[in-house]
Amino acid sequence: MSPAGHTCPLSLAAGTVPGSCRVFSPIVSPIARTVLPSGSVVVNSCSSAAEQLCNFVCDCSDCSDENQCGYLRGSAVLGTPFTCDFEDSDCGWQDVGTSTYGWVRGRASLAMWGTGPHSDHTLGTDLGWFLVTTSPPAKTTATAWLRSPEMREAAATCEIRAWYHLSGSCEGTQGLNQTERPVLRLAVAHRDDVVGLWQSPERSSEGWHQLVAYPGRITEQFQLIFSLTQPPTCGAEVALDDIMFRNCGLPEVGQQVCGAQESRCSHGSCLAWHRFCDGTDDCGDSSDEDAAQCKNFTHCSFDHDLCGWEVATGPPVWSRNTSLSLGTSYSAPTRDHSNNSRAGLFLHVGGGPTAQAGGTAQLISPTFQATNSCSLVLYYHLHGSATSNLSISYMTNSTKNLMRERIGDLGSCWVRERVDFIVTVPFKVLIEGVTSSGGTVAIDDLILSQGCVKEQETPVVTLPSEAGASPCTADEVACDSGDCIAAELACDFADTCADGSDEKRCGTTTFESGAGGWHDVSVGRLRWGLQRVTEPDSFLTGTSLALQTGEGQMVGPAKARSPPLGPSGPACTMEMSYRIHSDPQGFLAVSIADHTTGTTQLAWQTQGHGSTAGGRVRVPLGQRSRPFQVELLAMVDLQDTVNVSVDNVTFEQCYLDVVSPTAAELSCNFERDLCGWYQDLSSDFKWVRSMGQGHGSDHTTGSGYFLSVDPSVPWSHGQRAQLLTSHQEPAAAPRCLSFWYRLAGPQIGTLNLKLRPEGGEDVVLWTRRGTQGSIWHRAWATLPATGQQRYQVAFEVLHDGFLGDVGLDDLAQTAGPCGAELSCSFEAGDCALAASGKGTWQRQSNGTGTTAGPGTDHTTGTAAGHYMVVNTGRVSLPAGHTAALTSQPYQPSVPAQCLAFWYQLSTGTPGSLQVFVEQSRVRTKVLSVSTMEGSSWHRSHVTVQPDGDWQVVFEAVGAGGDHGFIALDDLHVSDGACPEPASCDFEQDTCGWSSPSDPRLNSLAWGWKSGVTLAKYPSPEQDHTLGTRNGHYVHFDTSALGARGTSALLESPPLPAATDSCLRFWYHMDIAEHLSSGELRVTLHGAAGQRTVWSVAGHRSRGWQSAVVPVQSPGEFQISFEITTRRWPVEGTVALDDIMYSARVGCHSSPESPVEEKPSGSFVAEVVLSLLLALIIVALVAAGGWYWLKPRGQASRTPAESNSPQGFDNITFRDDKVIISPREQDEA
């Protein structure tokens, strides 16, 4: 059938049946051969011929002939040539689907966690660009197609790398076959064929992953095609970034000086002798594979038969096959090597799910004469399994001599191998393939040199008997003793075999008696091999693993891999000795690969320095699930003394259940170390133990250590930074974990505390999102009893914000549950509030809830956020019945506390919300509300003056309406009496003033801090309330404005209609005058819209300035402070303090004496001089005035004169504040 109900295209691609739209392969599409659209024609400055455009060779001096080719001439950010990073354009890539489902160039969205990438790959932030698929249709299988411009002439060494991000999932597809998952594919369209190069692995994990594809030698024009195919009900989304083309250009034309072991190609470049007649067009003009030159070589492509080679009876057996007949399984070759075609033949052994363990397919050559010059070149394909292998041996009189063995998954490509035979008696060559579940082994193009001469009189060379075949089943491995154990128990860092043999070949080795389980998986011209250490060395002993010349046709680092390991514990480290002698281009690196999800992560690396360097290094591996493999990568130019070696590898403290002496130390101030906490190393986004570096000081001493996460660190692509404990013993009783945290910055993400039961789902115990100010806050979370289950505790920062930082300090674990939570957002749970009565309060989000409730919560402003809600419809809560929600007891340490909370009532007849403070079983009603203007969240607060422990009770009372709800969110108890609504001195908290959390507003958040200077957030050195460094205010750094947000909003809670009210506040602005496109303004917004009632342009610091703004609104409204700039970035800061809102009291009747400006900085000197001058003038005027008034008597002043100082431009002077005692306040 045609894809998603489309009509047949006019020109059918290869692989389609005439008269139908049936497509044999999901990769073949109606887009195989098309002309480049005129929009992506390359304009090149040196007018090079069309054949020279997009051929991976710079023909113009400025390389403009290699632009908009699916790549640009280079990426300035990454410093790599022939790369498309999508930062400036789509590089000529085009969406060529025939439906609305397709590809667009886009940026990260931080709106919803778990959908799409939260950063691009190039920059590692939300400002970078990538290509991404749009939403697929809901009911049908759909494919999004993306095609490159036409490219020309790829060399045999060509390597394509790209980064992809697969997110979202399919509903109910667990346990279904692989066609039921979203599959990303890369194919090449050449002539009339579309050949697959790569497809995504069957399992994927979150984050950016790298794909590597080798197209092989392609002549003439070709195009690349990415496709994402989705089954119905799949909401998956794929992003692509940083597409790179390496070593794809043909060798330069021109006479080169060739070395002793080289010959010249027709166009003048040099090539090693043994690369001639090897089945690969290395020269680029086929002159190294010329038929006349290669007539003495025996070449078997399996296109017609086995060329005299024999297949031993199986199962399993080598069988001739094509990619067309094998289909699109993940591990099968997508083309043969001889023709780069889906129709070409090769030999293959498939490892289906029922493959026999130890089953070996054998291919045996004819008998050859004794020789010293016989070489075999072949191409092999090992993919889909970490344990499949291919071995090449020769046999004489039933003894088998192993010459080469390759183990593991080398990717979806054909790799060249060459073996030289020097044998003094007649012999046969034996090629053996062993597959394991899900893997495929294939070979093609066997080429024997002229020194391999068939023996005429055939001596008897018999196959070795298979008597030693393993007695174990497919999912078992054999101990040396002959016992069988489950395969996943081998190399798990704990002895399972009685003789310990299951942990012998697992990477811990001195290389004296073999490779210790390490195997070479190189595909290029370098490889790892065992080598004697010739000269005495302080780093290496005896035999080491060293770089050698490899036989592969690619260009890239040598790679050796450990067997599949794990699971490992959080303290796991690998130690090794190494030596490197290389120029600075050379390197040695350790990475960790998980082939089930296709992820590889760099763990350690060192560059060459031109001289010999080395030593012993510890590489932390951390906690990882099974199976993972450690990889050694190295790249040098092997000449003279240049080399890299590794020796004496050990794995320390890797057993999952290893008990560290500090394992139970959850209490920690981080002054000495991390106590019982460990870094999660499976991500490159990490917690750092530091002393601040501009983020502020630690909490313990003010000058010590704390842990921090800075999400703006470049190149950090991990999705989460986690701090883990090791496995804790089961907990019989709950405990309380208290900690101090800091969440600061205009766009900072989420901090979670999680409990991770062994074998269970993570449980979020506590969470905060968005800025909480550059201030340490204390939080508590109860760690529940875990019964018989062991568990881990984790602090996690999500990579969902990029401006700000997170801090953690002074963790303390105590027995028993925590008391009442002083701050509760309901994101992590119900904070132990107890529900009782007729109806039931329940915690829910609008996205998942069963009860009617607000569309969004108050904390996050999204449908995913949680709140408490009760259904007040008459069925659930009949008229007069109540549903109560009671807090845990609060234990006050000061005479007065402020209880604040946000509530929402539905329209119609929602019933009423009554709030009581209960003390010694005596209830006092403090609030009753039954109607509410608008459908937004409202804030209420009440001052509590307890003489002991107290509780708050929220009671919903039914009113008999058909439908209705009452909802609660963001309870907060702070010390000190509550200020008037929308008034705040910012000393205790922000009094309900907040920045809107709706990510669609494109606005950044104001911060809250004291006057202590932070390099990261420059701002006034003194607040206005106290006039000291210890006083607090809200502030915003205008340099943050830009692509992430064009404004910064600070909003009051909703306020009732006002006829004659007044807003007074103090502001501090410091923005360079010549950049003063910045503006601070006050707006009122309600149902009728919004209007600006006050504004001031950006200016250099004049200290704290006061402002008085009359306020009138016919309906409910909010006050907003907004900073905007027309040009950004603009360096500067704006701060606010002492906001005072007087309801129903106009600005003409000042509640205080006129107030004075508090100077700061260089402004102080000006003020002092002005005052001295003013005193002199005042003295003169006073003398004259006294003389003038003496005969006339004093005239009484009019009220208008005393109202406000004339001509002072909103700068007023004041006496000290008058503090009213609580008793006077009560009476008032």
> Cis (ω within 30 of 0) for the bond into 627?
yes
DSSP structure string for 1032-1076:
EEEEEEGGG-BTTBSEEEEEPPPB--EEEEEEEEEEEEEE-GGGT
**Cα–Cα distance, 1204 to 1212 (Å, whole number):** 8
Beta bridge partners of 823: 972
Query: Lowest-pLDDT range, 352-356, 713-717, 1043-1047, 1197-1201?
Result: 1197-1201
Compute φ and ψ for 1127, nearest 5 degrees.
-120, 135
- What are 425's two structure tokens? 């008696």
Compute φ and ψ for 179, nearest 5 degrees.
-70, -10
Please give the angle made by the CA atoms of 965, 969 and 974, to the nearest 5 degrees: 140
Q: Check residue 1174 and give its pLDDT.
A: 53
**Cα–Cα distance, 639 to 582 (Å, whole number):** 9
Beta bridge partners of 272: 262
> Which of 617 and 840 is assigned the larger pLDDT?
617
Query: Lowest-pLDDT range, 115-124, 213-222, 250-259, 456-465?
Result: 456-465
**Cα–Cα distance, 982 to 1140 (Å, whole number):** 7
- What are 129's two structure tokens? 């660009």
Cβ atoms of 225 and 31 closer than 8 Å? yes
Tell whether the model's pLDDT for residue 1183 goes beyond 70.
no
Q: Which of 917, 1101, 1084, 924 is CA-nearest to residue 1018?
A: 1101
CB atoms under 10 Å from CB of 307, counted, come to 15
Tell me the average pLDDT across 803-827: 92
- What are 127's two structure tokens? 């400002």
Tell me the average pLDDT across 271-288: 93
Cβ atoms of 440 and 333 closer than 8 Å? yes
> Cis (ω within 30 of 0) for the bond into 661?
no
Q: Which of 895, 867, 1109 is CA-nearest to residue 965?
A: 867
> What is residue 109's DSSP assignment?
-
| Radius of gyration, alpha carbons of the chain | 37
pLDDT band, very low/low/confident/very high, at 180 (cuts 50, 70, 90): confident
Question: Identity (one letter) of the amino acid at 817?
Answer: P
pLDDT tens figures, 635-649: 998 877 778 999 999
Using a 10 angstrom Cβ sphere, with 0-12 exposed, 13-18 middle and 19 or more buried, the burial of residue 626 is middle
Tell whether the model's pLDDT for residue 31 goes beyond 70.
no
pLDDT band, very low/low/confident/very high, at 1186 (cuts 50, 70, 90): very low
Tell whether the model's pLDDT for residue 1140 goes beyond 90.
yes
Give the Å distances, CA to CA, from 956 to 229, 837, 872, 968: 51, 9, 8, 11
**Cα–Cα distance, 682 to 628 (Å, whole number):** 11
Q: Check residue 173 and give its pLDDT.
A: 41
Q: Report the SS3 class of residue 228.
A: strand
Query: Lowest-pLDDT range, 481-495, 537-551, 1153-1167?
Result: 1153-1167
**Cα–Cα distance, 749 to 752 (Å, whole number):** 10
Tell whether the model's pLDDT for residue 144 goes beyond 80.
yes
Using a 10 angstrom Cβ sphere, with 0-12 exposed, 13-18 middle and 19 or more buried, the burial of residue 1138 is buried
Q: Which of 223, 167, 163 is CA-nearest to residue 191?
A: 223
DSSP structure string for 40-60:
GPPP-TT---GGGTTSSS--S
DSSP structure string for 881-929:
-EEEEEPPPB--SSS-EEEEEEEEE-SS---EEEEEEEETTEEEEEEEE
Q: Check residue 176 and give its pLDDT.
A: 36
Tell me the average pLDDT across 141-169: 91
- What are 1189's two structure tokens? 């008034």
Question: Identity (one letter) of the amino acid at 1064?
Answer: R
Q: Which of 160, 205, 150, 221 is CA-nearest to residue 185?
A: 160
**Cα–Cα distance, 1052 to 71 (Å, whole number):** 50
Tell me the average pLDDT across 451-479: 73
pLDDT tens figures, 1036-1075: 988 888 777 788 999 999 999 998 899 999 999 988 766 5
Q: Check residue 192 and give its pLDDT.
A: 86
pLDDT tens figures, 748-807: 889 999 999 998 999 999 999 889 999 999 999 999 999 999 999 999 999 888 888 899
Tell me the average pLDDT across 114-137: 85
Q: Put residue 373 in one of left, alpha, beta given phi > 0 → left and psi -120 to 50 → alpha.
A: alpha
Query: H or E segment at 117?
Result: none
Tell me the CB-side half-sphere exposure of residue 821, using CA atoms within 13 A: 23
Give the Å distances, CA to CA, from 1209 to 171, 1145, 1205: 64, 22, 9
Q: Check residue 1205 and give its pLDDT.
A: 32
Average pLDDT over the chain, rounded to an integer: 84
> What is residue 1115's DSSP assignment?
S
Tell whether the model's pLDDT for residue 247 goes beyond 90.
yes
Tell me the average pLDDT across 161-187: 72
Tell whether the model's pLDDT for residue 1019 goes beyond 60.
yes
| Cα first-last separation, the chain | 81
Q: Check residue 1209 and give its pLDDT.
A: 31
pLDDT tens figures, 988-1004: 999 999 998 766 666 78
pLDDT band, very low/low/confident/very high, at 1162 (cuts 50, 70, 90): very low
Using a 10 angstrom Cβ sphere, with 0-12 exposed, 13-18 middle and 19 or more buried, the burial of residue 1071 is buried
Tell whether the model's pLDDT for residue 168 goes beyond 80.
no
Tell me the CB-side half-sphere exposure of residue 483, using CA atoms within 13 A: 12
pLDDT band, very low/low/confident/very high, at 469 (cuts 50, 70, 90): low
Q: Report the SS3 class of residue 412.
A: coil
SS (H, E, C) 157-181: CCEEEEEEEEECCECCCCCCCHHHC
> Which of 743 and 599 is assigned the larger pLDDT?
743
pLDDT band, very low/low/confident/very high, at 1218 (cuts 50, 70, 90): very low
- What are 1133's two structure tokens? 């800061």
Q: Over pLDDT 90: what percentage of the chain?
A: 55
Tell me the average pLDDT across 1081-1088: 92
* CB-based contacts of 1078, cutoff 8 Å, min separation 6: 1038, 1071, 1097, 1098, 1123, 1124, 1125, 1130, 1132, 1134
Q: Check residue 1128 and give its pLDDT.
A: 63
Q: Check residue 780 and give its pLDDT.
A: 94
* CB-based contacts of 810, cutoff 8 Å, min separation 6: 668, 669, 699, 700, 739, 740
pLDDT band, very low/low/confident/very high, at 175 (cuts 50, 70, 90): very low
> What is residue 3's DSSP assignment?
G
**Cα–Cα distance, 438 to 349 (Å, whole number):** 11
CA dihedral (1059, 1065, 1068, 1069) in degrees, to 10, reads: 0
> What is residue 332's DSSP assignment?
S
pLDDT tens figures, 407-425: 989 999 999 999 999 999 9
Cβ atoms of 1132 and 1119 closer than 8 Å? no
Residue with tokens 């050990």: 650
**Cα–Cα distance, 351 to 391 (Å, whole number):** 16
CB atoms under 10 Å from CB of 410, counted, come to 21
Q: Check residue 901 and give its pLDDT.
A: 96
Q: Check residue 1173 and give its pLDDT.
A: 52
Question: Identity (one letter) of the amino acid at 223?
Answer: Q
**Cα–Cα distance, 628 to 427 (Å, whole number):** 40
pLDDT tens figures, 666-685: 999 999 999 999 998 888 88
Q: Check residue 47 and give its pLDDT.
A: 63
Q: Report the SS3 class of residue 72.
A: strand
Residue with tokens 């998942």: 848
Q: Report the SS3 class of residue 5.
A: helix
**Cα–Cα distance, 622 to 572 (Å, whole number):** 5
CB atoms under 10 Å from CB of 775, counted, come to 16
**Cα–Cα distance, 35 to 150 (Å, whole number):** 8
Beta bridge partners of 532: 543
pLDDT band, very low/low/confident/very high, at 298 (cuts 50, 70, 90): very high
Beta bridge partners of 978: none
CB atoms under 10 Å from CB of 50, counted, come to 11
Q: Put residue 1132 in one of left, alpha, beta given phi > 0 → left and psi -120 to 50 → alpha.
A: left
How big is the chain, counted in residues?
Answer: 1228
Most confident of 454-463, 519-528, 691-700: 519-528
Q: Check residue 802 and give its pLDDT.
A: 85
Residue with tokens 């002074």: 810
Using a 10 angstrom Cβ sphere, with 0-12 exposed, 13-18 middle and 19 or more buried, the burial of residue 931 is exposed
